[in-house]
């Protein structure tokens, strides 16, 4: 059974930085695409970034490109999201997703397992 546990969320001022972590058990990281999604209040869950476990290829939503960096440590089965120059619009619950069925997928339905989410709040 796959289990994903996110950490690292919190409250930060606009322009600040946070790093989210997602530790996985029950799967082999290098075999899958892993992703980060986020859900703001009263909005749908949106794609943020994805990375392939095999070669580290990445993909980003336009809204975070140049500010966020996704990475993974396959030996530790841990996924990261480094978030810089944060804006109030980045406020959301951030979810780690695993077992992506398509290469660098941005589609929520193409991920099989999800973490419980971690809150990120950016104050202006």
For residues 63 and 47, give the distance between their C-alpha atoms in angstroms, rounded to a whole number.
Answer: 10
pLDDT digits (tens, 9 = 90+) for 32-67: 899 999 999 999 999 999 999 888 999 999 999 999
Burial class (CB in 10 A: 0-12, 13-18, 19+), 65: exposed
**3-state SS, residue 30:** helix
pLDDT tens readout for residues 72-112: 998 999 999 999 999 999 999 999 999 888 899 999 999 99
């Amino acid at each position: 059974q796959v289990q994903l546990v996110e950490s690292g969320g919190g409250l930060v001022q606009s322009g600040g930085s946070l790093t989210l972590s997602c530790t996985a058990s029950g799967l082999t990281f290098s075999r899958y695409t892993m992703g980060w999604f986020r859900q703001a209040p009263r909005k749908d869950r949106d794609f943020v970034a994805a990375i392939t476990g095999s070669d580290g290829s990445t993909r980003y939503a336009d809204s975070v490109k140049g500010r966020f960096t996704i990475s993974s440590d396959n030996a530790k089965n841990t996924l990261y999201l480094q978030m810089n120059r944060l804006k109030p619009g980045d406020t959301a619950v951030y979810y780690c997703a695993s077992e992506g069925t398509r290469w660098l997928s941005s589609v929520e339905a193409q991920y099989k397992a999800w973490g419980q989410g971690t809150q990120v709040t950016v104050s202006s």
